[in-house]
């Protein structure tokens, strides 16, 4: 397993991260622990969760994923692991989380204390803002609409509260998720001006059918030394090819209707077939090629894996040994020119 420095922090994280959002809905506690054991045995030291997990989000299960991770974590050597979690922002409503989550003092302090209790640990290594407090286009929306701007907590104020968590020892480093180039730049600028902790990471979707990170965020993150934690590297299972073989295949898209709308786009099946062809001609599984592509981008710090069984997780972990040939990369670029970002 390769280990990479996370932003300008002292953390060295595995190139593959174990994502946990299936724990508590699609996976039982025992299955969750089996995945955690397998991942760590293969060199993964980075575990990512969130207060709103599992998905699909609902009041009855919110926080269950952190609890499952916590019952495992209490029996581990804590200082050998890097644990990340997230505070829920207001983008998707979720009235069952603190009567409507926000990123302000009251919500941040309540959220971190609840997460630490469920995780059964005194601190998290990386605390992330899951969605911005302000309006931003997301979940398939690609155009900014100023008319949708809403009241939000200033980024400087968010940073001030997060700085207090760092000073209290509850959080080691901070990051953002589902952010824009302006947002990353503003977090970095405010931290520098006010002498507050800098964000070290941004967790955004990045995969063969959504390479929008490359256009603006890649430049910002390069100059600001902010690492990408790429989620959905398999595009909710599309890049495994399973929905080409069977449109009704078992997976989050079929289990939770409406949850995968960002992939319900006209060119997704056609692009998927082309990426499948490239992989199979190169003697690779489509999933392995997709994961290797994300892992080997220069701006990627770690790829967040999500599996529902240990067989899938084993295949995903095996991808860490794969380097794509120049020929395969050229073919990928050719498809990208024909189908640029069909699932942003």
pLDDT in tens, 203-243: 999 999 999 999 999 999 999 999 999 999 999 999 999 99
Kindly list the distances between the CA atom of residue 202 and the CA atoms of 38, 131, 132, 183, 315, in Å, as whole numbers in the listed order. Answer: 26, 11, 12, 10, 26
Mean pLDDT of 297-308: 96
Count the neighbouring beta carbons within 10 Å of the beta carbon of residue 325. Answer: 10
Nearest by Cα to 303 from 317, 315, 314: 317
Q: Are the C-beta atoms of residues 280 and 341 closer than 8 Å to each other?
A: no
Mean pLDDT of 273-284: 98
Segment 126-145, tens digit of pLDDT: 999 999 999 999 877 788 99
Question: Is 53 designated active site?
Answer: yes
Segment 51-62, tens digit of pLDDT: 999 999 999 999
Read off the pLDDT band of 311 (50, 70, 90): very high
String of b and e for 1-32 (b: at least 16 CB within 10 Å)?
eeeeebbebebebbbbbbbbbbbbbbbeeebb
CA distance 237 to 246: 12
Of 3, 53, 127, 263, the active-site residue reads 53
pLDDT at 263 over 90: no
Q: Are the C-beta atoms of residues 6 and 13 closer than 8 Å to each other?
A: yes
Quick one: angle between helices 155-168 and 181-194, nearest 10?
60
Model pLDDT, residue 115: 98
Read off the pLDDT band of 35 (50, 70, 90): very high
Structural domains in the chain? 3-237+294-322 (3.20.20.100)
Average pLDDT score over the chain: 96
Segment 104-113, tens digit of pLDDT: 999 999 999 9
Segment 251-260, tens digit of pLDDT: 888 888 777 7
Kindly list the distances between the CA atom of residue 48 and the CA atoms of 100, 180, 188, 291, 303, in Å, as whole numbers in the listed order. Answer: 23, 21, 23, 17, 11
Model pLDDT, residue 296: 98
Segment 146-199, tens digit of pLDDT: 999 989 999 999 999 999 999 999 999 999 999 999 999 999 999 999 999 999
Model pLDDT, residue 256: 85
Q: Are the C-beta atoms of residues 319 and 292 closer than 8 Å to each other?
A: yes
């Amino acid at each position: 397993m390769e280990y990479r420095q996370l932003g300008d922090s002292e953390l060295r994280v595995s190139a593959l991260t174990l994502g946990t959002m299936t724990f508590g809905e699609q996976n039982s506690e025992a299955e969750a622990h089996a995945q955690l054991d397998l991942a760590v045995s293969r060199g993964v030291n980075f575990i990512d969760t969130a207060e709103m997990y599992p998905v699909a989000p609902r009041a009855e299960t919110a926080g269950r994923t952190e609890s499952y991770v916590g019952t495992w974590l209490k029996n581990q050597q804590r200082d050998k692991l890097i644990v990340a979690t997230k505070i829920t922002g207001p983008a998707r409503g979720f009235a069952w989380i603190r009567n409507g989550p926000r990123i302000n003092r009251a919500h941040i302090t309540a959220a971190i204390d609840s997460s630490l209790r469920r995780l059964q640990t005194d601190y998290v290594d990386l605390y992330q803002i899951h969605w911005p407090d302000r309006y931003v286009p997301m979940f398939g929306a690609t155009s900014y609409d100023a008319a949708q701007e809403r009241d939000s907590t200033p980024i400087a104020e968010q940073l001030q509260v997060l700085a207090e968590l760092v000073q209290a020892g509850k959080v080691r480093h901070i990051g953002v998720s589902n952010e824009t180039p302006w947002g990353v730049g503003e977090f970095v600028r405010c931290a520098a001006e006010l002498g507050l902790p800098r964000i070290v990471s941004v967790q955004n979707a990045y995969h063969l059918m959504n390479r929008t990170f490359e256009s603006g965020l890649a430049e910002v993150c390069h100059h600001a030394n902010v690492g990408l934690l790429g989620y959905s590297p398999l595009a909710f299972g599309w890049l495994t090819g399973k929905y080409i073989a069977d449109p009704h295949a078992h997976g989050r898209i079929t289990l939770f209707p409406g949850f995968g709308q960002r992939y319900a786009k006209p060119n997704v099946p056609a692009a998927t077939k082309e990426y499948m062809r490239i992989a199979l001609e190169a003697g690779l599984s489509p999933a392995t090629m997709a994961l290797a592509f994300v892992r080997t981008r220069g701006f990627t710090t770690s790829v967040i894996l999500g599996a529902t069984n240990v067989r899938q997780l084993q295949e995903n972990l095996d991808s860490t040994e794969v380097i794509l040939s120049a020929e395969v990369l050229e073919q990928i670029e050719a498809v990208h020119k024909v189908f640029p970002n069909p699932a942003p």
